[in-house]
Amino acid sequence: MKQHITTIILALLLAATATAQSHLNVAPMFEGKKEWSLKFTGSHIEGRPLKPYNLTLFRSITTSDHRLYDKIEALVEKDGKNTIDKESGYINGKLYYAFYQFKPKNKKYQYLFYHNSSLREDKPDEVTIVYIEGYVTLTELKKIFK
């Protein structure tokens, strides 16, 4: 019986983190949906390693597949319409970076970062998206990643 309860609790925890960013247009990329699978490298960190930073979830994905860049940019810009705070920059009409803060959910702050380094010749040719959740304010988060 104890083993069944542990299994159920683990399944619920995994479901909760899998849907953390599900309200975003970029969510299918993080969730490994078929159209996006095998096109990204990424990381998924939660729990103890993030506690010192007051974070609960860190997810990042990166791709070098040029065919996806415009589609990713469009999804990120859609997500940018639902923010409570944002900062972005463009190069030649293309989104170069975006830093979005969304309305807190269950008292957790939510952030989305986007960077298209292919727009600068001196940078790697890739697009990176990062989703972060936690109890850290925007000011504190900027200090962490300085």
User: How does pLDDT run across 86-108, given as a tens digit for each residue?
Assistant: 999 999 999 999 999 999 988 89
Q: Can you give the pLDDT at residue 20?
A: 54
Q: Is the pLDDT of residue 126 over 80?
A: yes
Domain count, the chain: 1
State the CB neighbour count (10 A cutoff) for residue 70: 11
For residue 15, pLDDT over 50 is answered with no
DSSP conformation class of 107: T
With 70 as the cut, is the pLDDT of residue 59 above it? yes
pLDDT reported for residue 48? 92
Residue 60, burial from CB neighbour count under 10 angstroms (0-12, 13-18, 19+)? middle
pLDDT at 72: 93
Terminal Cα-to-Cα distance of the chain (whole angstroms): 48
Residue by residue, DSSP assigns 42-71 as: EEEEESGGGGGGTEEEEEEEEE--GGGHHH
Owning domain of residue 18: 2-144
CA–CA dist 72, 35 (Å, integer): 12
